[in-house]
Amino acid sequence: MIASIQTKNQSITRTLQDFFADLLKTGAVDAVLVPSRISESLYVKPCLITSADQMDPTVPLGPGFFVNAGPMVSRLTRTKAGATIGVWLRPCEVRAFVELTKLRQGGREEVVILSMDCPMALSRKDYEDWAAQGDEGLGDVDTWIHTVYQKPVTQVDAWPVARACQVCESPYPVNADVSVMLYGADLDKEIPVRADTEKGEKLLAALDLTDGGQEPEPRNALLANLTADRTAAFQALDEEMRVRTGSIDALNRFFSACVNCHNCRSVCPACYCKECVFNTDAVAYAPTQYLSWADKWGQVPMPNDTVFFHLTRLAHIGCTCVGCGQCTLACPSQIPVADLFISVTRNVRNAFDYVPGRDDAEPLPLSVFQESEFTDIVGMGNKEVT
Residues that bind another protein in the complex, under the rule CB under 8 A: 103-105, 248-249, 252, 272-277, 280, 282-283, 293, 297, 299-301, 304-308, 311, 316, 363-364, 366-369, 371, 384-385
Selection from 67, 59, 64, 48 nearest residue 17 by Cα: 59
CB neighbourhood size of 47 (10 A): 17
Q: Shortest gap between Cβ of 102 and another protein (angstroms)?
A: 9
Contacts of 150 (CB under 8 A, 6+ apart): 184
Q: Shortest gap between Cβ of 348 and another protein (angstroms)?
A: 15
CA–CA gap between residue 340 and residue 333 (Å, rounded): 15
User: Measured from the CB atom, is 158 or 284 closer to another protein?
Assistant: 284
> Could you give the angle at which helices 12-25 and 141-148 cross, rounded to 10 degrees?
100
Contact 356, 268 (CB under 8 A): no
Q: Shortest gap between Cβ of 275 and another protein (angstroms)?
A: 5
User: Measured from the CB atom, is 45 or 358 closer to another protein?
Assistant: 358
Q: Shortest gap between Cβ of 112 and another protein (angstroms)?
A: 24
Q: Shortest gap between Cβ of 367 and another protein (angstroms)?
A: 4
User: Measured from the CB atom, is 37 or 265 closer to another protein?
Assistant: 265
CA–CA gap between residue 47 and residue 140 (Å, rounded): 21
Contact 322, 269 (CB under 8 A): yes
Burial of 248 (0-12, 13-18, 19+ CB in 10 A): exposed
User: Measured from the CB atom, is 137 or 303 closer to another protein?
Assistant: 303
User: Measured from the CB atom, is 56 or 360 closer to another protein?
Assistant: 360
Strand partners, 86: 32, 112
Residue 301 preceded by cis peptide, ω within 30: no
Please, how many CA atoms are within 13 Å of residue 214, restricted to the half-sphere of its CB? 4
Selection from 215, 3, 179, 213 nearest residue 90 by Cα: 179
User: Measured from the CB atom, is 174 or 276 closer to another protein?
Assistant: 276
User: Measured from the CB atom, is 230 or 265 closer to another protein?
Assistant: 265
Strand partners, 6: 190
Q: For 134-279, where are the alpha helices, taking DSSP H only? A: 141-148, 163-166, 198-206, 219-245, 248-254, 263-267
Strand partners, 17: none
Contacts of 207 (CB under 8 A, 6+ apart): 19, 22, 23, 26, 28
Q: Shortest gap between Cβ of 176 and another protein (angstroms)?
A: 23
User: Measured from the CB atom, is 232 or 257 closer to another protein?
Assistant: 257
Q: Shortest gap between Cβ of 249 and another protein (angstroms)?
A: 8
Q: Shortest gap between Cβ of 363 and another protein (angstroms)?
A: 7
User: Measured from the CB atom, is 81 or 283 closer to another protein?
Assistant: 283
Q: Shortest gap between Cβ of 294 and another protein (angstroms)?
A: 9
